[in-house]
């Protein structure tokens, strides 16, 4: 799980400049991408705490 979390954080850093370029043309799309990027590590972190039966 830690590998997936680390990769998701790295991906955010790589994608951020692209999102800024997209924002110049489509702010709504850039906002949607930002929210999706933020939700990935949050979901991974939340899933790490759950145990079987949840």
What residue segments make up the domains of the chain, in order of their start?
2-47
Report angle CA 38, 44, 6 to the nearest 5 degrees. 80
Q: Is the pLDDT reported for residue 48 higher than 90? A: no
Residue 7: the pLDDT is 93
What tens digit of pLDDT does each residue of 3-38 get?
Answer: 898 999 999 999 999 999 999 999 999 999 999 999
The pTM of this model reads 0.76
Give me the helices (H) in 1-54, please.
Answer: 2-23, 27-49
The sign of the dihedral angle between the CA atoms of 15, 18, 20, 26 is negative
Residue 28: the pLDDT is 98
Residue 46: band (very low, low, confident or very high) from pLDDT cuts 50, 70, 90: confident
Residue 26: the pLDDT is 98
């Amino acid at each position: 799980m830690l590998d997936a979390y680390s990769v998701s954080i790295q991906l955010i850093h790589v994608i951020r400049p692209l999102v800024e370029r997209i924002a110049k043309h489509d702010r709504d799309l850039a906002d949607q991408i930002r929210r999706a990027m933020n939700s990935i590590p949050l979901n991974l972190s939340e899933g790490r705490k759950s145990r079987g039966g949840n």
